Chain A
Amino acid sequence: MPDKLTYEEIVKKHIERKGRTTEVILPVLEEIQETYGYLPREAMEYLADVLKVSPAVIYSTATFYHFFSLEPKGEVIIRVCRGTACHVMGSGIIMNELIDELGLQGEGTTPDGKFTLESVGCIGCCSTGPNMVVIKDGKEEIFGYLTPQKAREVVKKIKEQIQSQGVGV
């Protein structure tokens, strides 16, 4: 990955562009989430400090939106679409299959911190569902026309990739 910006740099970048306005809150939090994989407490406090608002304002925003998480997510994020079209095409079964494959109890992160499994409203490929999105190394890939077996294979393949990378380093 290219040089990651620190949260201070992210905040500075947005303030320089837009000024000290609350309009930067969402874009800043989004970029911190993308860069760090979650919203560190210090980062939210820093943003509150710079904007001269109470940290409670930032927390209230941070906890409201699904895309933010206050805890680190796995290296690989798998989002199974639970939108209507995917639901009627059987996304519930896909979700159960992946819960099983990852050894989870439900949605969440594996104990080794490798995978996070979550659901997403709809990713806008409803005609070719059921779908899931895999986010790995900052890249997003969508898999369509899934079957339980296909979904499992995708995850198995990623597991193998992670393993071979681990050995290689």
Chain B
Amino acid sequence: MRYTFETLEKIRDEYKERIEIRRKRTLEPGKKYILTCGGTSCLSIGGEKPTYQLFKEIVEKEGLEDKVEVINVGCMRMCSEGPLVAMYPGGVLYTKVKDEETAKQIIDAALSENPYVDGHHYKDPITGEVIYHMWDIPFFKYQESVVLERVGLIDPTSIEEYIGAGGYFGLARALQMSPDDVIQEVYDSGLRGRGGAGFPTGLKWKFARQAQGEPKYVIANGDEGDPGAYMNRAEMEGAPFALIEGLTIAGYAIGASKGYIYTRAEYPLAAHLLEHAIKVAKEKGLLGENILGTGFSFDIEVFKGAGAFVCGEETALIASIEGKAGRPRPRPPFPAQKGLFGKPTIINNVETLINVALIMERGSQWFKQLGTDRSPGTKVFALAGSLSVSGLAEVSLGTPIKVLLEDIGRGAPEGHTLKAVQLGGPSGGCVPTEHFDAPIDYESLGSLGAIMGSGGVIALDETSCMVDVAKFFIEFTKNESCGQCTPCRDGLVEMYDILERITQGKGTMEDLEKLEKMAVTVKNTSLCGLGQTAPGPVLSTLRYFKDEYIAHIEEKKCPAKACLPLIEYYIVPEACKGCTICAKNCPVNAISGEPGKVHVIDPEACVKCGTCMAVCPFDAVVKIDAFGKE
């Protein structure tokens, strides 16, 4: 059945209650809704069967369908504690749900007066308190729910649930306005692109609307290249209709009839769910010919990338859809003038377009209440690295960095101390602890030598070597360079070689000077954003952590004990109990010793795999400096 404006409202009213129950934070009698996380992280750390199947099978076997409904949802954000399950009304959150027995316990508990299950709730790493209800947990309490409002709440395959949660009313409103008014509304909201550069979305659309050429195209950039971030993945998997709605609005606004969603090859589940959503939206008349009977027609296709970071750059992305190698081309002309097949094209990040749908639903004034004057709205970040709790965190722009790391992420795990945070991936930089008070917005982060980027946040503790981190990123960008222009192609190789020498203790102070010069040249003379931003990790670590570089060079020491050529594994005789566990696990038999006696590592034979340190139950294995030891 094809929907009209009236049916849209009818469906919303019909499904509203089912959704509202999942927002109730206090326990109530009656039917229970059990939400299982079907996000990729939870699936990867789960048991044999996906969590949804575990619950579904029990409910069916025991004939509990009237009392319990199981709904599979997208990422519920706190991935590190997964697989997650939530029970509504009440929002009781169960963690680490991996087997049938736990699922059974949860169902029994949910149906009783006391819906809690020992050992499967969040325990705060700082206070030690066990917290049962999701929204009392600091990880959630300090977050906003705007872009992620429906992610982890609704069944991503159900268009009715999406409509019940307010979805498609942004498109409905847009279609009742003129395209110019839609663009004005987006412009007035102050929304800036979430793909990294922060360009005003409304302005980009104005250019494309005014540009000559038919047909016009709109593209959602879901390439998510930053290797350490997955907000776009979770957004596409958790509420695919939201992206489709936003892209359709973009198409209407600039006068396009065709849209693409470009996703990474590494995200098969996202592509699958998007394809499904496109099919359903077409059946319902919310996509395809004559949308909602307004005469506007628009089609969307999912285009899968084939593994090339540079294809996240807009002109390379276009080349890739055209079937070519993904090499960027100089701008201008900008894609808004000459894009896909030479036609006016707009490219927006996935999260930008989801924001568009919300802005059209709720108005630009609503949006401007969030965030700061120059950076309105929220941003979703992917927290990872050395944090006690990690996953997705959505906060208003302008929120201090430390809220993300300390209030939400609960700081480094016990026994570790944070020393920096890496923001923005290979194009970004490292910000040291003394700047954790800085607000997260485009300008502040830029002035600290980092960037907002697409939202990757990696917390680094004392075990991370900043030279190694810089080397890691340069290795990445060097491998991903399209090789088209010299500064990027050759400059990054040269920078990598210098960093490699330094991490092996073979660098000189001249190397360091050369590195810095090279970084500036690559930054200033590369053709595209990849080369222009690739030196960021080097420049920011040189700015804040030069002492670590110097220690590698002058003392041949890695202060973090992370650079393998500069360290050795060593068994502290006083601590070793002679339990033989390390010797049994060493892959190269480099450890000798008799049961009950002190064990010794042969540094010549040791390949520094770290296994002995990981398995020793008495923490007797330590890393020591290889040079200058007694």
A131-B44, A142-B43 are contacts. A65–B609 as well, Cβ < 8 Å? no
Q: For residues 200 through 234 of chain B, which have their beta carbon under 8 Å from a beta carbon of chain A?
A: 224-230, 233-234
In the bound assembly, the distance between CA atoms of A29 and B469 in angstroms comes to 35
In the bound assembly, the distance between CA atoms of A126 and B422 in angstroms comes to 14
A66/B585 in contact, CB under 8 A: no
For B310, give the chain A residue with the smallest CB separation.
A64
Q: Could you say which residues of chain B place their CB within 8 Å of the CB of A144?
A: 41, 44-45
B306/A127 in contact, CB under 8 A: no
Stretch in contact with the other chain, from B239-247, B385-393, B434-442, B592-600 = B385-393
A27/B304 in contact, CB under 8 A: yes
B266/A122 in contact, CB under 8 A: yes
**B312 CB to closest chain A CB, in angstroms?**
11
Q: Could you say which residues of chain A place their CB within 8 Å of the CB of B268?
A: 140
A84/B458 in contact, CB under 8 A: yes
> Is B384 interfacial (CB 8 A cutoff)?
yes
In the bound assembly, the distance between CA atoms of A5 and B312 in angstroms comes to 31
For A86, give the chain B residue with the smallest CB separation.
B228
A97/B79 in contact, CB under 8 A: no
Of A22, A29, A83, the most chain B CB neighbours within 10 A belong to: A83
Of A85, A87, A131, A140, the most chain B CB neighbours within 10 A belong to: A85
> Is A25 interfacial (CB 8 A cutoff)?
yes
> Is A108 interfacial (CB 8 A cutoff)?
no
> Is A23 interfacial (CB 8 A cutoff)?
yes
> Is A68 interfacial (CB 8 A cutoff)?
yes
In the bound assembly, the distance between CA atoms of A21 and B323 in angstroms comes to 9
In the bound assembly, the distance between CA atoms of A126 and B82 in angstroms comes to 13
Q: Could you say which residues of chain A place their CB within 8 Å of the CB of B175?
A: none
> Is A89 interfacial (CB 8 A cutoff)?
yes
> Is A38 interfacial (CB 8 A cutoff)?
no
A88/B464 in contact, CB under 8 A: yes
> Is A46 interfacial (CB 8 A cutoff)?
no
**B152 CB to closest chain A CB, in angstroms?**
14
Stretch in contact with the other chain, from A70-78, A109-117, A145-153, A154-162 = A145-153
For B391, give the chain A residue with the smallest CB separation.
A127
> Is B40 interfacial (CB 8 A cutoff)?
yes
Q: For residues 84 through 125 of chain A, which have their beta carbon under 8 Å from a beta carbon of chain B?
A: 84-90, 93, 96-97, 100, 120-125
Q: Mark A50-73, 1 if CB is under 8 A from B, else 0.
A: 000000010011011111100000
A121/B325 in contact, CB under 8 A: no
Q: Which of B79, B228, B266, B585 contacts A149 (CB 8 A)?
A: B585
Q: Could you say which residues of chain B place their CB within 8 Å of the CB of A67?
A: 265, 306-307
Q: Mark A22-61, 1 if CB is under 8 A from B, else 0.
A: 1111110110000000000000000000000000010011
For B39, give the chain A residue with the smallest CB separation.
A125
In the bound assembly, the distance between CA atoms of A143 and B607 in angstroms comes to 25
A128/B44 in contact, CB under 8 A: yes
In the bound assembly, the distance between CA atoms of A131 and B385 in angstroms comes to 13
> Is B452 interfacial (CB 8 A cutoff)?
no
In the bound assembly, the distance between CA atoms of A63 and B308 in angstroms comes to 11
> Is B324 interfacial (CB 8 A cutoff)?
yes
Q: Which of A68, A82, A127 contacts B384 (CB 8 A)?
A: A127
> Is B446 interfacial (CB 8 A cutoff)?
no
Q: Could you say which residues of chain A place their CB within 8 Å of the CB of B585?
A: 149
> Is B460 interfacial (CB 8 A cutoff)?
yes
B609/A125 in contact, CB under 8 A: no
A127/B460 in contact, CB under 8 A: no
Q: Could you say which residues of chain A place their CB within 8 Å of the CB of B617?
A: none
**A100 CB to closest chain B CB, in angstroms?**
5
Q: Which of A24, A85, A128, A142 contacts B385 (CB 8 A)?
A: A85
Residue total for B at the interface (Cβ-Cβ under 8 A)? 62
B230/A122 in contact, CB under 8 A: yes
Q: Which of A64, A100, A128, A147 contacts B308 (CB 8 A)?
A: A64
B228/A83 in contact, CB under 8 A: yes
In the bound assembly, the distance between CA atoms of A143 and B44 in angstroms comes to 5
B307/A121 in contact, CB under 8 A: yes
In the bound assembly, the distance between CA atoms of A110 and B382 in angstroms comes to 35
**B310 CB to closest chain A CB, in angstroms?**
9
**A154 CB to closest chain B CB, in angstroms?**
12
A22-B322, A60-B325, A67-B307 are contacts. A125–B44 as well, Cβ < 8 Å? yes
Q: For residues 16 through 56 of chain B, which have their beta carbon under 8 Å from a beta carbon of chain A?
A: 40-41, 43-45
Q: Which of A61, A124, A148 contacts B323 (CB 8 A)?
A: A61
A124/B609 in contact, CB under 8 A: no
In the bound assembly, the distance between CA atoms of A140 and B469 in angstroms comes to 29
Q: Could you say which residues of chain A place their CB within 8 Å of the CB of B482?
A: 64
For B233, give the chain A residue with the smallest CB separation.
A124
In the bound assembly, the distance between CA atoms of A142 and B44 in angstroms comes to 5
A30/B304 in contact, CB under 8 A: yes
In the bound assembly, the distance between CA atoms of A20 and B609 in angstroms comes to 52
Q: Which of B225, B230, B322, B460 contacts A126 (CB 8 A)?
A: B230
B323/A25 in contact, CB under 8 A: yes
Q: Could you say which residues of chain A place their CB within 8 Å of the CB of B265?
A: 30, 67
For B78, give the chain A residue with the smallest CB separation.
A127
Q: Could you say which residues of chain A place their CB within 8 Å of the CB of B304?
A: 26-27, 30
B611/A149 in contact, CB under 8 A: yes
A127/B79 in contact, CB under 8 A: yes
Q: Mark B455-497, 1 if CB is under 8 A from A, else 0.
A: 0101010001000010011001000001000000000000000
A88/B609 in contact, CB under 8 A: no
Of B306, B308, B327, B382, the most chain A CB neighbours within 10 A belong to: B306
Q: Could you say which residues of chain A place their CB within 8 Å of the CB of B464?
A: 88
**B239 CB to closest chain A CB, in angstroms?**
16
In the bound assembly, the distance between CA atoms of A1 and B36 in angstroms comes to 30
Q: Could you say which residues of chain B place their CB within 8 Å of the CB of A123?
A: 40, 266
Q: Could you say which residues of chain A place their CB within 8 Å of the CB of B337?
A: none
For B587, give the chain A residue with the smallest CB separation.
A100
29 interchain pairs (CB within 8 A)?
A: A22-B324, A25-B323, A26-B321, A63-B325, A64-B325, A64-B326, A65-B325, A65-B326, A67-B306, A84-B226, A84-B227, A84-B456, A85-B228, A85-B384, A88-B464, A88-B469, A96-B609, A100-B609, A121-B227, A122-B230, A126-B384, A127-B41, A140-B268, A141-B44, A142-B40, A142-B43, A143-B44, A145-B45, A148-B611
Ranked nearest first, the 10 interchain pairs of A and B with the lowest CB-CB distance are A25-B323, A84-B228, A22-B323, A83-B227, A66-B307, A124-B230, A65-B306, A85-B384, A142-B44, A64-B325
